[in-house]
A = this chain, B = another copy of it.
Amino acid sequence: MKTDIEIAHSVSMKPIASIAEKLGIEFDDLELYGKYKAKIPLRFIDKEKVKQHKLILVSAISPTPAGEGKTTVSIGLAQAMNRQNYQTTVVLREPSLGPVFGIKGGATGGGWSQVLPMEDINLHFTGDFSAIEKAHNLLAALIDNNLQNKQYSLGIDPRTVEWKRVMDMNDRALRQMILGLGGTSSGVPRETGFDITAASEIMAILCLADDFEDLKKRLGNIFIGFTYSGKPVYARDLKAQGAMTALLKDAIKPNLVQTIEGTPAIIHGGPFANIAQGTNSIIATRMGLSLSDYVVTEAGFGFDLGAEKFIDIKCRYGDLQPSAVVLVATVRALKYHGGAPLDSLKEENLEALQKGFANLEKHIENMLQFKACPVVAINRFTSDTDAEINLIVEKCKSMGVDVSPIDVWAKGGEGALDLADIVAGTCERCENQITPLYDWNWDVPTKIETVAKRIYGAEAIDFSSQAKKDLKKIEKLGLDKLPVCIAKTQKSLSDNPALLGRPKDFVVTVRNIEIASGAGFVIPITGNIMRMPGLPAKPAAENIDIDNEGNITGLF
Protein backbone atom coordinates (compact mmCIF):
# COMPACT_ATOMS: atom_id res chain seq x y z
CA MET A 1 0.00 0.00 0.00
CA LYS A 2 1.30 3.47 -0.87
CA THR A 3 2.12 5.91 1.92
CA ASP A 4 0.52 9.34 2.11
CA ILE A 5 3.63 11.07 0.76
CA GLU A 6 3.86 8.59 -2.14
CA ILE A 7 0.22 9.20 -3.01
CA ALA A 8 0.83 12.96 -2.76
CA HIS A 9 3.79 12.72 -5.13
CA SER A 10 1.85 10.59 -7.65
CA VAL A 11 -0.37 13.56 -8.49
CA SER A 12 0.63 16.66 -10.49
CA MET A 13 -0.52 19.76 -8.72
CA LYS A 14 -2.16 22.57 -10.65
CA PRO A 15 -0.51 26.02 -10.51
CA ILE A 16 -2.10 27.81 -7.58
CA ALA A 17 -3.17 30.61 -9.94
CA SER A 18 -5.56 28.20 -11.67
CA ILE A 19 -7.08 27.21 -8.31
CA ALA A 20 -7.48 30.90 -7.48
CA GLU A 21 -9.15 31.48 -10.83
CA LYS A 22 -11.92 29.04 -9.84
CA LEU A 23 -12.56 31.34 -6.88
CA GLY A 24 -12.64 34.45 -9.06
CA ILE A 25 -9.25 35.73 -7.95
CA GLU A 26 -6.96 36.97 -10.68
CA PHE A 27 -3.27 36.22 -10.85
CA ASP A 28 -2.22 39.79 -10.05
CA ASP A 29 -4.22 39.74 -6.83
CA LEU A 30 -2.38 36.73 -5.43
CA GLU A 31 0.74 36.84 -3.31
CA LEU A 32 2.55 33.73 -4.44
CA TYR A 33 4.79 31.60 -2.23
CA GLY A 34 6.34 29.38 -4.86
CA LYS A 35 4.06 27.89 -7.50
CA TYR A 36 1.57 26.07 -5.26
CA LYS A 37 0.94 28.35 -2.32
CA ALA A 38 -0.41 31.88 -2.18
CA LYS A 39 -1.74 34.42 0.27
CA ILE A 40 -5.10 36.04 -0.43
CA PRO A 41 -5.45 39.79 0.27
CA LEU A 42 -8.06 40.61 2.93
CA ARG A 43 -10.04 42.84 0.54
CA PHE A 44 -11.61 39.69 -0.97
CA ILE A 45 -13.73 39.26 2.14
CA ASP A 46 -17.32 40.11 1.18
CA LYS A 47 -19.66 40.51 4.15
CA GLU A 48 -22.81 39.88 2.14
CA LYS A 49 -21.56 36.57 0.78
CA VAL A 50 -20.36 35.49 4.21
CA LYS A 51 -24.00 35.79 5.33
CA GLN A 52 -25.48 34.04 2.28
CA HIS A 53 -23.13 31.09 1.90
CA LYS A 54 -23.17 27.88 3.96
CA LEU A 55 -20.71 26.88 6.66
CA ILE A 56 -20.29 23.16 7.42
CA LEU A 57 -18.50 22.22 10.63
CA VAL A 58 -16.75 18.84 10.92
CA SER A 59 -16.25 17.58 14.46
CA ALA A 60 -15.68 14.12 15.96
CA ILE A 61 -16.18 11.71 18.82
CA SER A 62 -13.62 11.79 21.65
CA PRO A 63 -10.23 11.05 20.05
CA THR A 64 -8.50 7.72 20.65
CA PRO A 65 -5.12 6.30 19.58
CA ALA A 66 -7.08 4.41 16.88
CA GLY A 67 -7.53 7.67 14.95
CA GLU A 68 -10.66 9.31 13.59
CA GLY A 69 -9.33 11.15 10.51
CA LYS A 70 -11.27 14.37 10.99
CA THR A 71 -8.99 16.36 8.66
CA THR A 72 -9.08 13.59 6.05
CA VAL A 73 -12.89 13.56 6.23
CA SER A 74 -13.09 17.35 5.94
CA ILE A 75 -10.95 17.26 2.80
CA GLY A 76 -12.78 14.23 1.37
CA LEU A 77 -16.18 15.81 2.03
CA ALA A 78 -15.17 19.05 0.31
CA GLN A 79 -13.96 17.05 -2.70
CA ALA A 80 -17.23 15.09 -2.73
CA MET A 81 -19.29 18.28 -2.61
CA ASN A 82 -17.46 19.67 -5.63
CA ARG A 83 -18.07 16.39 -7.48
CA GLN A 84 -21.78 16.84 -6.74
CA ASN A 85 -21.58 20.43 -8.05
CA TYR A 86 -21.83 22.16 -4.71
CA GLN A 87 -19.07 24.78 -5.09
CA THR A 88 -16.99 24.21 -1.98
CA THR A 89 -13.73 25.30 -0.34
CA VAL A 90 -12.21 23.43 2.59
CA VAL A 91 -10.87 25.73 5.34
CA LEU A 92 -8.41 24.13 7.75
CA ARG A 93 -5.84 24.87 10.42
CA GLU A 94 -2.09 24.97 9.76
CA PRO A 95 -0.24 22.00 11.23
CA SER A 96 2.19 22.56 14.07
CA LEU A 97 5.81 21.79 13.14
CA GLY A 98 6.77 20.40 16.54
CA PRO A 99 4.81 17.12 16.34
CA VAL A 100 6.13 16.45 12.81
CA PHE A 101 9.46 15.52 14.42
CA GLY A 102 7.81 13.61 17.26
CA ILE A 103 5.31 10.79 16.77
CA LYS A 104 2.79 12.30 14.50
CA GLY A 105 4.34 12.96 11.15
CA GLY A 106 2.27 15.34 9.05
CA ALA A 107 -1.23 16.70 9.59
CA THR A 108 -2.50 17.31 6.09
CA GLY A 109 -5.09 14.55 5.72
CA GLY A 110 -4.33 11.16 4.22
CA GLY A 111 -4.58 8.92 1.19
CA TRP A 112 -6.69 10.45 -1.57
CA SER A 113 -7.94 13.16 0.75
CA GLN A 114 -4.87 15.32 1.32
CA VAL A 115 -3.93 18.95 0.94
CA LEU A 116 -0.85 19.70 -1.15
CA PRO A 117 2.08 20.40 -1.21
CA MET A 118 2.14 18.30 1.95
CA GLU A 119 5.86 18.77 2.75
CA ASP A 120 5.59 22.54 2.61
CA ILE A 121 2.36 22.68 4.61
CA ASN A 122 3.86 20.39 7.26
CA LEU A 123 7.17 22.27 7.46
CA HIS A 124 7.38 26.08 7.38
CA PHE A 125 4.44 26.67 5.00
CA THR A 126 4.24 30.44 4.45
CA GLY A 127 5.91 31.37 7.73
CA ASP A 128 2.78 32.19 9.76
CA PHE A 129 3.83 30.14 12.80
CA SER A 130 7.27 31.76 12.77
CA ALA A 131 5.73 35.21 12.61
CA ILE A 132 3.44 34.42 15.54
CA GLU A 133 6.41 33.02 17.46
CA LYS A 134 8.39 36.22 16.85
CA ALA A 135 5.55 38.49 17.87
CA HIS A 136 5.06 36.45 21.04
CA ASN A 137 8.75 36.39 21.93
CA LEU A 138 9.19 40.09 21.15
CA LEU A 139 6.68 40.84 23.90
CA ALA A 140 8.61 38.53 26.25
CA ALA A 141 11.90 40.28 25.41
CA LEU A 142 10.24 43.67 26.01
CA ILE A 143 9.00 42.49 29.41
CA ASP A 144 12.43 41.24 30.51
CA ASN A 145 13.99 44.40 29.10
CA ASN A 146 11.62 46.48 31.20
CA LEU A 147 12.62 44.50 34.29
CA GLN A 148 16.28 45.13 33.40
CA ASN A 149 16.16 48.87 32.74
CA LYS A 150 15.30 50.93 35.79
CA GLN A 151 15.06 54.15 33.76
CA TYR A 152 11.73 53.40 32.07
CA SER A 153 10.62 50.69 34.49
CA LEU A 154 6.92 50.03 34.90
CA GLY A 155 7.69 48.40 38.25
CA ILE A 156 6.51 44.97 37.13
CA ASP A 157 6.82 42.31 39.84
CA PRO A 158 8.68 39.49 37.99
CA ARG A 159 6.92 36.88 40.13
CA THR A 160 3.57 37.87 38.64
CA VAL A 161 4.59 37.73 34.98
CA GLU A 162 2.35 35.21 33.25
CA TRP A 163 3.66 35.73 29.72
CA LYS A 164 6.01 32.91 28.74
CA ARG A 165 7.94 32.37 25.50
CA VAL A 166 7.00 29.97 22.67
CA MET A 167 8.76 27.68 20.23
CA ASP A 168 7.20 25.41 17.60
CA MET A 169 9.10 22.35 18.74
CA ASN A 170 8.35 19.35 20.95
CA ASP A 171 10.91 20.22 23.60
CA ARG A 172 10.05 19.23 27.14
CA ALA A 173 13.28 20.63 28.60
CA LEU A 174 11.95 24.13 27.88
CA ARG A 175 8.81 23.71 30.00
CA GLN A 176 10.28 25.14 33.16
CA MET A 177 13.45 27.16 33.56
CA ILE A 178 15.21 29.92 35.42
CA LEU A 179 16.52 32.51 33.01
CA GLY A 180 18.25 35.86 33.44
CA LEU A 181 21.29 34.24 35.06
CA GLY A 182 24.82 35.56 34.56
CA GLY A 183 24.92 38.79 36.52
CA THR A 184 23.47 42.29 36.31
CA SER A 185 24.01 42.73 32.57
CA SER A 186 22.05 39.61 31.61
CA GLY A 187 18.55 40.19 32.91
CA VAL A 188 16.65 39.56 36.12
CA PRO A 189 16.61 35.90 37.22
CA ARG A 190 13.08 34.51 37.27
CA GLU A 191 11.15 31.33 36.74
CA THR A 192 9.35 30.91 33.42
CA GLY A 193 9.20 28.55 30.45
CA PHE A 194 8.25 27.94 26.84
CA ASP A 195 4.94 26.72 25.39
CA ILE A 196 4.57 25.30 21.91
CA THR A 197 3.65 28.05 19.42
CA ALA A 198 0.17 26.69 18.68
CA ALA A 199 -0.60 27.34 22.36
CA SER A 200 0.35 31.02 22.12
CA GLU A 201 -2.35 33.56 22.95
CA ILE A 202 -1.18 35.38 19.82
CA MET A 203 -2.24 32.36 17.76
CA ALA A 204 -5.67 32.58 19.37
CA ILE A 205 -5.76 36.33 18.77
CA LEU A 206 -4.78 36.03 15.11
CA CYS A 207 -7.59 33.52 14.68
CA LEU A 208 -10.21 35.79 16.25
CA ALA A 209 -9.16 39.13 14.72
CA ASP A 210 -11.19 40.96 12.07
CA ASP A 211 -8.40 43.03 10.53
CA PHE A 212 -5.16 44.86 11.38
CA GLU A 213 -6.91 47.34 13.63
CA ASP A 214 -8.69 44.68 15.65
CA LEU A 215 -5.52 42.57 15.76
CA LYS A 216 -3.52 45.48 17.15
CA LYS A 217 -6.18 46.29 19.73
CA ARG A 218 -6.29 42.67 20.93
CA LEU A 219 -2.49 42.45 21.07
CA GLY A 220 -2.41 45.59 23.18
CA ASN A 221 -4.94 44.01 25.56
CA ILE A 222 -2.74 41.04 26.45
CA PHE A 223 -2.43 40.79 30.22
CA ILE A 224 1.16 40.44 31.39
CA GLY A 225 1.14 40.60 35.20
CA PHE A 226 1.06 43.15 38.00
CA THR A 227 3.29 45.94 39.22
CA TYR A 228 4.61 45.77 42.78
CA SER A 229 1.78 48.10 43.70
CA GLY A 230 -0.81 45.72 42.26
CA LYS A 231 -1.62 47.58 39.04
CA PRO A 232 -2.33 45.29 36.08
CA VAL A 233 0.11 45.59 33.17
CA TYR A 234 -0.92 45.02 29.55
CA ALA A 235 1.12 44.73 26.37
CA ARG A 236 0.02 48.26 25.40
CA ASP A 237 1.81 49.60 28.51
CA LEU A 238 5.05 48.41 26.88
CA LYS A 239 4.02 49.97 23.53
CA ALA A 240 4.45 46.50 22.05
CA GLN A 241 1.32 46.19 19.91
CA GLY A 242 2.51 48.18 16.86
CA ALA A 243 5.69 46.18 16.34
CA MET A 244 3.87 42.92 17.10
CA THR A 245 1.22 43.72 14.50
CA ALA A 246 3.93 44.68 11.98
CA LEU A 247 5.46 41.22 12.50
CA LEU A 248 2.07 39.72 11.63
CA LYS A 249 1.49 41.77 8.47
CA ASP A 250 1.59 38.72 6.19
CA ALA A 251 0.56 36.10 8.75
CA ILE A 252 -2.88 37.71 8.99
CA LYS A 253 -3.61 36.83 5.33
CA PRO A 254 -5.11 33.37 4.65
CA ASN A 255 -3.12 30.82 2.61
CA LEU A 256 -4.53 29.18 -0.49
CA VAL A 257 -3.47 25.65 -1.50
CA GLN A 258 -5.29 22.73 -3.16
CA THR A 259 -6.48 19.26 -2.29
CA ILE A 260 -5.29 16.23 -4.20
CA GLU A 261 -8.43 16.56 -6.39
CA GLY A 262 -7.88 20.29 -7.01
CA THR A 263 -10.48 21.52 -4.52
CA PRO A 264 -9.46 24.95 -3.18
CA ALA A 265 -8.15 24.75 0.37
CA ILE A 266 -7.61 27.71 2.67
CA ILE A 267 -5.29 26.88 5.55
CA HIS A 268 -4.78 29.51 8.19
CA GLY A 269 -4.06 29.60 11.93
CA GLY A 270 -3.53 26.61 14.16
CA PRO A 271 -4.55 27.03 17.78
CA PHE A 272 -4.95 23.99 20.04
CA ALA A 273 -8.53 23.03 20.88
CA ASN A 274 -7.73 21.87 24.39
CA ILE A 275 -6.35 25.23 25.55
CA ALA A 276 -7.58 27.73 22.95
CA GLN A 277 -10.54 27.96 20.60
CA GLY A 278 -8.94 25.35 18.31
CA THR A 279 -10.23 26.43 14.94
CA ASN A 280 -8.77 28.21 11.94
CA SER A 281 -9.05 31.98 11.74
CA ILE A 282 -12.27 33.96 11.46
CA ILE A 283 -10.60 35.74 8.53
CA ALA A 284 -10.03 32.39 6.73
CA THR A 285 -13.59 31.20 7.34
CA ARG A 286 -14.98 34.49 6.07
CA MET A 287 -12.64 34.34 3.07
CA GLY A 288 -13.84 30.84 2.21
CA LEU A 289 -17.48 31.93 2.49
CA SER A 290 -16.76 35.01 0.35
CA LEU A 291 -15.29 32.89 -2.44
CA SER A 292 -17.52 29.81 -2.60
CA ASP A 293 -21.05 28.67 -1.89
CA TYR A 294 -20.05 26.15 0.77
CA VAL A 295 -17.19 26.00 3.26
CA VAL A 296 -16.21 22.79 5.02
CA THR A 297 -14.20 23.49 8.17
CA GLU A 298 -13.13 21.53 11.22
CA ALA A 299 -12.78 22.17 14.95
CA GLY A 300 -10.07 20.39 16.94
CA PHE A 301 -10.52 17.21 19.02
CA GLY A 302 -14.01 16.04 20.02
CA PHE A 303 -17.30 17.95 19.81
CA ASP A 304 -17.05 18.71 23.55
CA LEU A 305 -13.85 20.74 22.99
CA GLY A 306 -13.41 22.21 19.51
CA ALA A 307 -17.03 22.41 18.41
CA GLU A 308 -18.33 23.83 21.69
CA LYS A 309 -15.71 26.59 21.46
CA PHE A 310 -16.38 27.02 17.75
CA ILE A 311 -20.02 27.84 18.46
CA ASP A 312 -19.69 29.62 21.80
CA ILE A 313 -16.56 31.66 21.06
CA LYS A 314 -15.52 31.80 17.42
CA CYS A 315 -19.00 32.08 15.88
CA ARG A 316 -19.96 34.80 18.30
CA TYR A 317 -16.81 36.89 17.81
CA GLY A 318 -16.99 36.34 14.05
CA ASP A 319 -20.78 36.59 13.65
CA LEU A 320 -20.74 33.21 11.89
CA GLN A 321 -23.45 30.58 11.71
CA PRO A 322 -22.81 26.94 10.78
CA SER A 323 -25.59 25.42 8.69
CA ALA A 324 -24.60 21.78 9.24
CA VAL A 325 -22.46 19.85 11.69
CA VAL A 326 -20.83 16.53 10.73
CA LEU A 327 -19.59 14.23 13.46
CA VAL A 328 -16.83 11.81 12.43
CA ALA A 329 -16.73 8.38 14.06
CA THR A 330 -14.83 5.20 13.29
CA VAL A 331 -15.63 1.61 14.12
CA ARG A 332 -12.13 1.20 15.57
CA ALA A 333 -12.37 4.20 17.89
CA LEU A 334 -15.82 3.27 19.14
CA LYS A 335 -14.62 -0.27 19.90
CA TYR A 336 -11.74 1.27 21.83
CA HIS A 337 -14.25 3.44 23.74
CA GLY A 338 -16.14 0.21 24.44
CA GLY A 339 -13.11 -1.34 26.10
CA ALA A 340 -11.45 -3.29 23.24
CA PRO A 341 -7.63 -3.22 23.52
CA LEU A 342 -5.70 -1.23 20.90
CA ASP A 343 -4.08 -4.28 19.33
CA SER A 344 -7.42 -6.07 18.80
CA LEU A 345 -9.20 -3.35 16.81
CA LYS A 346 -8.91 -5.16 13.49
CA GLU A 347 -11.13 -7.97 14.76
CA GLU A 348 -14.93 -7.74 14.63
CA ASN A 349 -16.26 -6.94 18.10
CA LEU A 350 -19.94 -5.95 18.10
CA GLU A 351 -20.17 -6.01 21.86
CA ALA A 352 -17.40 -3.44 22.36
CA LEU A 353 -18.85 -1.37 19.51
CA GLN A 354 -22.31 -1.41 21.10
CA LYS A 355 -20.83 -0.29 24.39
CA GLY A 356 -18.52 2.33 22.83
CA PHE A 357 -21.44 3.84 20.91
CA ALA A 358 -22.31 5.64 24.15
CA ASN A 359 -19.53 8.12 23.38
CA LEU A 360 -21.04 8.92 19.99
CA GLU A 361 -24.49 9.07 21.52
CA LYS A 362 -23.44 11.74 24.01
CA HIS A 363 -21.84 13.82 21.27
CA ILE A 364 -25.06 13.56 19.24
CA GLU A 365 -27.05 14.70 22.26
CA ASN A 366 -24.63 17.60 22.64
CA MET A 367 -25.18 18.60 19.02
CA LEU A 368 -28.90 18.66 19.70
CA GLN A 369 -28.35 20.93 22.70
CA PHE A 370 -26.97 23.49 20.24
CA LYS A 371 -30.06 22.85 18.07
CA ALA A 372 -27.92 21.42 15.25
CA CYS A 373 -29.26 18.71 12.90
CA PRO A 374 -26.65 16.01 13.49
CA VAL A 375 -25.02 14.18 10.59
CA VAL A 376 -22.74 11.26 11.43
CA ALA A 377 -19.94 10.24 9.03
CA ILE A 378 -18.50 6.76 9.59
CA ASN A 379 -14.92 6.94 8.32
CA ARG A 380 -14.23 3.39 7.00
CA PHE A 381 -11.05 1.45 7.65
CA THR A 382 -10.35 -1.69 5.59
CA SER A 383 -10.71 -3.94 8.63
CA ASP A 384 -14.25 -2.75 9.45
CA THR A 385 -16.91 -5.43 8.85
CA ASP A 386 -20.31 -4.74 7.31
CA ALA A 387 -21.97 -5.90 10.52
CA GLU A 388 -20.05 -3.29 12.47
CA ILE A 389 -20.88 -0.48 10.03
CA ASN A 390 -24.54 -1.53 10.03
CA LEU A 391 -24.72 -1.51 13.80
CA ILE A 392 -23.66 2.15 13.92
CA VAL A 393 -25.96 3.05 11.04
CA GLU A 394 -28.95 1.44 12.75
CA LYS A 395 -28.26 3.01 16.11
CA CYS A 396 -27.93 6.47 14.55
CA LYS A 397 -31.14 5.99 12.56
CA SER A 398 -33.01 4.93 15.69
CA MET A 399 -31.99 8.30 17.17
CA GLY A 400 -33.36 10.04 14.06
CA VAL A 401 -29.89 11.08 12.98
CA ASP A 402 -28.58 11.15 9.40
CA VAL A 403 -25.64 8.81 8.95
CA SER A 404 -23.33 7.87 6.07
CA PRO A 405 -20.41 5.44 5.84
CA ILE A 406 -17.60 7.00 3.80
CA ASP A 407 -14.27 5.89 2.36
CA VAL A 408 -12.33 9.06 1.58
CA TRP A 409 -8.83 7.74 2.33
CA ALA A 410 -8.97 5.13 -0.46
CA LYS A 411 -11.43 6.83 -2.83
CA GLY A 412 -11.12 10.59 -2.27
CA GLY A 413 -14.32 12.57 -2.96
CA GLU A 414 -15.82 9.54 -4.69
CA GLY A 415 -15.97 7.89 -1.26
CA ALA A 416 -18.34 10.51 0.26
CA LEU A 417 -20.86 11.42 -2.47
CA ASP A 418 -23.82 10.30 -0.33
CA LEU A 419 -22.55 12.29 2.65
CA ALA A 420 -22.15 15.35 0.41
CA ASP A 421 -25.83 15.21 -0.59
CA ILE A 422 -26.97 14.68 2.99
CA VAL A 423 -24.90 17.66 4.16
CA ALA A 424 -26.17 19.91 1.37
CA GLY A 425 -29.71 18.92 2.28
CA THR A 426 -29.09 19.65 5.95
CA CYS A 427 -27.77 23.11 5.04
CA GLU A 428 -31.16 23.92 3.45
CA ARG A 429 -33.28 22.29 6.12
CA CYS A 430 -31.48 23.42 9.28
CA GLU A 431 -30.18 26.88 8.38
CA ASN A 432 -29.81 29.52 11.08
CA GLN A 433 -31.04 27.37 13.92
CA ILE A 434 -27.83 26.71 15.83
CA THR A 435 -27.71 28.68 19.07
CA PRO A 436 -24.97 29.13 21.67
CA LEU A 437 -25.08 27.23 24.92
CA TYR A 438 -24.63 30.08 27.38
CA ASP A 439 -24.90 33.83 27.74
CA TRP A 440 -21.55 35.64 28.04
CA ASN A 441 -23.14 37.92 30.65
CA TRP A 442 -23.53 35.08 33.13
CA ASP A 443 -20.91 34.92 35.87
CA VAL A 444 -17.81 32.80 35.22
CA PRO A 445 -18.69 29.85 37.54
CA THR A 446 -22.14 29.55 35.96
CA LYS A 447 -20.65 29.55 32.47
CA ILE A 448 -18.15 26.83 33.46
CA GLU A 449 -20.88 24.79 35.17
CA THR A 450 -23.14 25.01 32.16
CA VAL A 451 -20.51 23.60 29.79
CA ALA A 452 -19.25 20.99 32.24
CA LYS A 453 -22.66 19.66 33.24
CA ARG A 454 -24.53 19.89 29.96
CA ILE A 455 -21.74 19.05 27.50
CA TYR A 456 -19.26 16.96 29.45
CA GLY A 457 -21.97 15.31 31.58
CA ALA A 458 -20.39 16.22 34.92
CA GLU A 459 -22.23 15.77 38.17
CA ALA A 460 -20.54 18.67 39.92
CA ILE A 461 -17.73 21.21 39.65
CA ASP A 462 -14.97 21.65 42.20
CA PHE A 463 -13.10 24.95 42.26
CA SER A 464 -9.64 24.76 43.88
CA SER A 465 -8.62 27.53 46.23
CA GLN A 466 -6.35 28.88 43.48
CA ALA A 467 -9.29 28.88 41.05
CA LYS A 468 -11.32 30.86 43.58
CA LYS A 469 -8.52 33.42 43.84
CA ASP A 470 -8.38 33.59 40.07
CA LEU A 471 -12.12 34.23 39.89
CA LYS A 472 -11.66 37.25 42.15
CA LYS A 473 -8.75 38.48 40.03
CA ILE A 474 -10.85 38.14 36.86
CA GLU A 475 -13.67 40.11 38.43
CA LYS A 476 -11.29 42.80 39.64
CA LEU A 477 -9.86 43.14 36.14
CA GLY A 478 -13.39 43.42 34.72
CA LEU A 479 -12.97 40.34 32.54
CA ASP A 480 -15.84 38.28 33.92
CA LYS A 481 -18.08 38.86 30.90
CA LEU A 482 -15.66 37.01 28.62
CA PRO A 483 -16.55 33.52 27.35
CA VAL A 484 -14.93 30.48 28.97
CA CYS A 485 -12.45 28.48 26.89
CA ILE A 486 -12.17 25.39 29.09
CA ALA A 487 -8.85 23.50 28.95
CA LYS A 488 -9.59 19.80 29.34
CA THR A 489 -8.12 16.54 28.17
CA GLN A 490 -9.33 15.57 24.70
CA LYS A 491 -9.25 11.88 25.53
CA SER A 492 -12.38 11.77 27.65
CA LEU A 493 -15.64 13.64 27.96
CA SER A 494 -14.56 14.09 31.59
CA ASP A 495 -11.37 15.78 32.82
CA ASN A 496 -9.80 12.36 33.48
CA PRO A 497 -8.12 10.91 30.34
CA ALA A 498 -8.63 7.35 31.59
CA LEU A 499 -12.45 7.53 31.47
CA LEU A 500 -13.47 6.38 27.97
CA GLY A 501 -16.94 5.92 26.48
CA ARG A 502 -19.53 8.05 28.26
CA PRO A 503 -18.38 8.70 31.82
CA LYS A 504 -21.03 9.53 34.45
CA ASP A 505 -21.15 10.79 38.01
CA PHE A 506 -17.81 12.56 37.75
CA VAL A 507 -16.64 15.84 39.23
CA VAL A 508 -14.73 18.34 37.08
CA THR A 509 -11.97 20.04 39.03
CA VAL A 510 -10.99 23.55 38.02
CA ARG A 511 -7.34 23.92 39.10
CA ASN A 512 -6.88 27.51 38.09
CA ILE A 513 -8.20 30.03 35.59
CA GLU A 514 -5.87 31.76 33.19
CA ILE A 515 -6.49 35.04 31.45
CA ALA A 516 -6.31 35.58 27.70
CA SER A 517 -7.60 39.13 27.68
CA GLY A 518 -6.18 39.81 24.22
CA ALA A 519 -7.87 36.81 22.66
CA GLY A 520 -10.95 37.65 24.69
CA PHE A 521 -11.62 34.62 26.89
CA VAL A 522 -10.67 33.13 30.21
CA ILE A 523 -9.23 29.61 30.39
CA PRO A 524 -10.40 27.41 33.26
CA ILE A 525 -7.77 24.67 33.49
CA THR A 526 -8.99 21.19 34.37
CA GLY A 527 -6.76 18.13 34.76
CA ASN A 528 -3.12 18.11 33.59
CA ILE A 529 -2.90 19.88 30.25
CA MET A 530 0.64 20.21 28.81
CA ARG A 531 1.38 23.26 26.71
CA MET A 532 4.79 21.99 25.59
CA PRO A 533 4.91 18.39 24.33
CA GLY A 534 8.03 16.21 24.43
CA LEU A 535 9.63 13.98 21.81
CA PRO A 536 9.25 10.19 22.00
CA ALA A 537 12.25 7.93 22.73
CA LYS A 538 12.67 7.38 18.97
CA PRO A 539 11.65 10.66 17.34
CA ALA A 540 10.20 10.71 13.81
CA ALA A 541 12.99 13.20 13.00
CA GLU A 542 15.43 10.27 12.74
CA ASN A 543 13.63 8.98 9.63
CA ILE A 544 13.20 12.25 7.79
CA ASP A 545 15.65 12.77 4.96
CA ILE A 546 16.18 14.75 1.77
CA ASP A 547 18.19 13.92 -1.35
CA ASN A 548 20.43 16.22 -3.39
CA GLU A 549 17.49 17.17 -5.62
CA GLY A 550 15.55 18.37 -2.58
CA ASN A 551 13.08 15.45 -2.40
CA ILE A 552 11.97 14.78 1.17
CA THR A 553 11.24 11.31 2.55
CA GLY A 554 9.97 10.18 5.94
CA LEU A 555 7.09 12.63 6.34
CA PHE A 556 3.84 10.69 6.60
**Chain A contact residues, CB within 8 Å of chain B:** 31-35, 39, 97, 101, 119, 123-124, 127, 130-131, 133-134, 137-138, 140-142, 144-145, 147-149, 151-152, 167-182, 185-188, 191, 193, 211-213, 216, 238-240, 242-243, 245-247, 249-250, 534-535, 537-539, 541-550, 552, 554-555
User: Which one of B33, B35, B137, B181 lies within 8 Å of A167 (CB-CB)?
Assistant: B137
Contacting pair A101 B138 (CB below 8 A): yes
Chain B residues within 8 Å of A542, by CB = 238-240, 242-243
Q: A127-B127, A242-B546, A546-B246 are in contact. Are A537 and B149 (CB under 8 A)?
A: yes
- A28 to chain B: closest residue by CB: B35
Q: Smallest Cβ distance from A91 to chain B, in angstroms?
A: 22
**Are A148 and B243 interface neighbours, CB within 8 A?**
no
Q: Which residue of B lies closest to A133 (CB)?
A: B130
Partner of A97, one of B134, B179, B180: B134
Expressed in whole angstroms, the Cα–Cα distance for A134 and B546 within the complex equals 16
Among A138, A149, A170, the one with the most B-chain Cβ atoms within 10 Å of its Cβ is: A138
Chain B contacts of A247 at CB under 8 A? 123-124
Complex contacts, A544 vs chain B, CB 8 Å: 242-243, 246
With a CB–CB cut-off of 8 A, which chain B residues contact A182? 175-176, 193
Residue among A32, A213, A541 having the largest count of chain B Cβ atoms under 10 Å: A541
Contact A545 B242 (CB under 8 A): yes
Distance to closest chain B CB from A322 (angstroms): 28
Q: Which 6 residue pairs across A and B have the least CB separation, nearest first?
A: A173-B187, A242-B545, A176-B182, A130-B130, A144-B173, A243-B541
- CB closest residue in chain B, given A190: B173
CB distance from A106 to the nearest CB of B (A): 12
Across-interface contacts of A243 in B (CB, < 8 A): 101, 541-542, 544-545, 554
Q: Hey, which chain B residues are within 8 Å of A543, CB to CB?
A: 242
Q: Do B186 and A179 have beta carbons less than 8 Å apart?
A: no
Given A134-B124, A212-B550, verify A141-B171 contact (CB < 8 Å): yes
In the complex formed, the residue of B with least CB distance to A549 is B212
A543 to B39, CA, bound (A): 27
Other contacts beyond A119-B246, A178-B181, A186-B534: 15, CB < 8 A: A32-B33, A32-B34, A101-B243, A119-B249, A124-B250, A141-B169, A176-B181, A176-B182, A177-B177, A182-B193, A185-B534, A212-B546, A242-B545, A242-B554, A245-B546
Chain B residue at minimal CB-CB distance from A42: B550
Q: How distant is A190 from chain B, measured CB to nearest CB, in Å?
A: 8
Residues of B within 8 A of A549 (CB): 212
Contact of A123 among B124, B249, B535, B552 (CB under 8 A): B249
Known contacts A169-B138, A181-B176; is A145 also within 8 Å of B245 by CB? no
Judge whether A546 and B137 touch: CB under 8 Å. Answer: no
A174 adjacent to B179 (CB under 8 Å) = yes
- Complex A-B: 19 CB contacts under 8 Å: A32-B34, A101-B138, A101-B243, A124-B127, A124-B130, A124-B134, A127-B130, A137-B169, A138-B169, A176-B179, A176-B181, A181-B191, A240-B541, A240-B542, A242-B541, A242-B543, A242-B544, A242-B554, A246-B552
**Contact status B186-A175, CB under 8 Å:** yes
Give the distance in Å from the alpha carbon of A366 to the alpha carbon of B538 in the complex.
52
The interface residues of chain B lying within 8 Å CB-to-CB of A187 are 172-175, 534
Given A130-B130, A173-B148, A547-B212, are A142 and B541 neighbors across the interface (CB < 8 Å)? yes
